[in-house]
Structure 1
Amino acid sequence: MASPFPLLFFLGAAALLRTPAAAAPEEHLVTGLPGFHGDFPSNHYSGYVTVDEASGRSLFYYLALSERDPAADAVVLWLNGGPGCSSFDGFVYENGPFNFEPGTKPGGLPRLQLNPYSWSKVSNIMYLDSPAGVGMSYSLNKSDYTTGDLKTAADAHKFLLKWFEIYPEFQSNPFYISGESYAGVYIPTLADEVVKGIEKGVEPRISFKGYLIGNGFTDVDYDFNSFVPFAHGMGLISTDMFEDVKASCHGTFFGDVDNLCQEKIERVHWELKDLNKYNILAPCYHHPEIQQVEFANSSLPLSFRRLGETNRPFPVRKRMAGRSWPLRLALRGGHVPMWPGLGGRSLPCTSDELATAWLDDEDVRAAIHAKPWRP
């Protein structure tokens, strides 16, 4: 469960309670959500911001105002990674206003309870589906679904500039960018766009204060080379096994390694085959036999090895929002061709059933103002 407390170091003490000016578009106001009964602890808004008129490229956002002091508290943008993951992943499973629980009937909608650790306790938290083709975001030009990190950052910056025009009451609030995983690329590239815009005097001026990255992707060689040392450091493999692998691999555990080194690395993976690699303290939701993605570098496609190259284009799969296209693809990366083994199924040990059941409901999509899916 994500906690709001890491944000406290920059949010500071609350000022006298103030209410934001009524500039927020009323047509974006979320008046209720299926599965939740009661009043929201703060106003919620969701909808689209068009970042390119010619192609109709539009990005979807969901905003939960601060439950403390929305006029003074920071605006925090949240980005999930992937590339190709909807930020509703964070909304449903991590730091959003609600905890999602299974419904009372098989196949029924999940039940929503207020999350006491929501980041909306101390900030105006906004979830953005980016780039176009991810989650609820879309384009009328299918060529936009082949994109790259730099275009993604440029579109997200355009989104922010237009969003602050729509919500001028937040232009003076401290602004932070946050996220996880492949957002380790999304966030610095977007931050660079924001800073360059500020230096050029672009209006509206964004009161950018910093960014937060959790479990961030950085570099393929660095990240994947860390797996064996991490496993040893966490006590998941014995010192004897670690020293054996290190001696055979000469300290390099990924990339162009010889057959003996590869054999030793695969022994480590076999030792940890039942491990939830996303959370070593939690059990696997799916049985290991049906896990679709492994760390063994021999199975990684070339396109995955090139993650992090900011000029490298990457395709994103079709936008989902309708029963004809499984929602889990947007939440977990789905048909991004660099993940061919997924085949529309879940990542290892991970359940996306609650989010899929909830977001694939027509009443939910209507409540959050998501547009119908287009083939």
Structure 2
Amino acid sequence: MAISSGIATPCTLVSLRLHPFVVAFLLLQGHVQLSCCGSRVEFLPGFEGPLPFHLETGYVGVGESEAIQLFYYFVESERNPKEDALFLWLTGGPGCSAFSGLIYEIGPLNFKIKAYNRSLPELVFNPYSWTKASSIIFVDSPVGTGFSYAENPLAYETGDFIQVQHLHQFLRKWLISHPEFISNPVYVGGDSYSGLTIPVLVQEIINGNDEGENPAINIQGYVLGNPATDPGFDQNAPVPFAHGMGLISDELYESLKRTCRGQYQLSETTNAECVNDLLAFYQCTSGLQTAQILEPLCGFASPKPGEMFGDRRSLLENFFLVREPTDPDSGCRTYGYTLSYSWTNDDNVREALHIRKGSIGDWQRCNYGLKYTSDISTTLEYHAKLSAKGCRSLIYSGDHDMIVPYLGTQAWIRSLNYSIVDDWRSWMVQGQVAGYTRTYSNGMTFATVKGGGHTAPEYRPEESFAMYERWISQEPL
């Protein structure tokens, strides 16, 4: 796929602050409907003392008659909120709550990992929160995710493009109710399945600006971690990744290349030899934690061969399916995940978060019962369009993830055919190699996070924060 390496225009020409009187005028004239309310959260059950950062939670109504109420957590930048970027963060799935990003990845709080014996889990401050460099809106999307809900059953039917439309509405309405952030540079980010929706969302925001939608959004770019992008690259990468990591023999790898001819998906082949080789591959790798191959396999469902090489959504679901380990000393990361259920389903916690009573039943970290249509198959075209608009982008990969391996991500970036302006080199944190990076002429930076898994900041928080802080500050990694 050959793409011009030139950058035609900036990602956005908008850098305007909407005066509060203009906001009021728009509302009175009916140009902007607004169903948005946020409330300050100063104390949280499980955290000792007042929160050392500004946290707000609330809902924004979107969709027809605003029947969908998207819940969000907003954390103001701990550095300079008047000037720092505003970052909209989406967790993957689809159907996984933004709470995962807030608590386990890039937010200012973590659970204290210890045995609780039915008591409320404790929260501790995360010194590597990305809110030290930007303000972040963590939004539960699509509807039915986390604390987001719909006011009628039909409104729960959603999909990739519908989610994008709702998020676009969400962001403009949120900015109307927070006019002090309208001039801030805006970025959209997320990981895993969000790789399919975020490039489309950024394009929708740009289109809305071009069409004169209010308020204009000062969109500058996007950030993607181990992103699902294109099945031809993503789903064919686990085999060469496993060989490079020494997980399968040279002989099996050579046979796979010969019989499958680079197409390593059971659903895409009728060749009996290829099928047999793929089943042998599965036998070799079935005992691995595919989200981070060095960690123990505990608390995750092991995928069936048809899931491992077939439907992409099933493959991503495998990462989030949780059994419930009860021993915090077992080395199972998923013990920490189970704490989120105890915490979010506590009545005092819900009251502190300003959750509307009766809006949802039991909270789920990932809801795979959504009526969801996966209707975006590839985002390569969107990356090319956004590059032509001059959007900056950071694409990073935890290099021990076998769900969306870095080899596939490298390959689709290479297929865009942009010239290299800063060739492959290591990047450092505390005098140690933290990963490797390469920068392209279209403003795209690719980086690996050494030792990172499918959600790299969860596994390598210090290194991931250093990467993000440098990039968002427009400094080289």
TM-score category by the smaller chain? 0.7 to 0.9
The residue number in structure 2 matching 1:8 is none
Task: Indicate the residue corresponding to 2:75 in structure 1.
Answer: 64
1:285 corresponds in structure 2 to 298
- Deviations, residues 213-263 of structure 1 (Å, cap 9, x unaligned): 101011233311111111112222232221122222222211322222111
- Partner residue, 1:368: 353
1:297 matched residue in structure 2: 306
- Counterpart contact for 1:284–1:350, Cα < 8 Å: no
Aligned residues: 315
Is contact 2:60–2:70 with CA below 8 Å preserved after alignment? yes
Percent identity over paired residues: 40
Counterpart amino acid of residue 260 in structure 2 = C
Report SS of the residue matched to 1:69. Answer: coil
Q: Distance in 1 between matches of 2:202 and 2:293?
A: 31
- Quote the residue 2:451 is aligned against: none
Pick one of 15, 37, 40 that aligns with 1:29: 40
After TM superposition, the score normalised by the length of structure 2 is: 0.61
Regions of 4+ moved over 4 Å:
298-301, 348-351
1:262 to 268, 275, 278: 275
Distance 1:123 1:227 in 2: 34
Q: Does 1:274 align with 2:287?
A: yes
CA distance in 1, matches of 2:170, 2:236: 36
In the other structure, the counterpart of 2:123 is 112
Return 5+ residue gaps in structure 2 as ranges. 1-19, 24-35, 325-331, 362-477
Answer 1 or 2: which has greater strand percent: 2
CA distance in 2, matches of 1:55, 1:206: 21
Residues 79 and 128, structure 1, Cα contact 8 Å, conserved in 2? yes
TM-fit CA distance, 1:107: 2.0
Q: Which residue of 2 aligns with 1:359?
A: 344
Residues 101 and 354 in structure 1, CA contact (< 8 A), matched pair in contact too: no
Structure 1 residues not aligned, in runs of 5+: 1-20, 308-331, 334-338
- Do the aligned residues in 1 keep the contact of 2:37 with 2:59 (CA within 8 Å)? no
Question: TM-score, normalising length from structure 1?
Answer: 0.77
1:104 and 1:245 map into 2 onto residues whose CA distance is 45
- Kept in 2, the 8 Å contact 1:153–1:186? The answer is yes
1:74 paired to 2:96: no
* Native 8 Å contact 1:220 1:306 kept in 2: no
- CA 1:48–1:350 in structure 2 vs 1: closer, same or farther (change >3 Å)? same
The answer for the alignment partner of 2:412 in structure 1 is none
- Asked if structure 2 preserves the Cα contact closer than 8 Å seen for 1:41 and 1:67, the reply is no
Shift of 1:200: 1.1
Distance (Å, rounded) in 2 between the aligned partners of 1:145 and 1:27: 23
Q: Is the CA contact (8 Å cut-off) linking 1:74 and 1:174 kept in structure 2?
A: yes
Quote how far apart the aligned CAs of 1:293 are. Answer: 4.9
Task: State the distance in 1 between where 2:111 and 2:50 align.
Answer: 16
In 1: Cα distance, 2:120 partner to 2:279 partner: 41
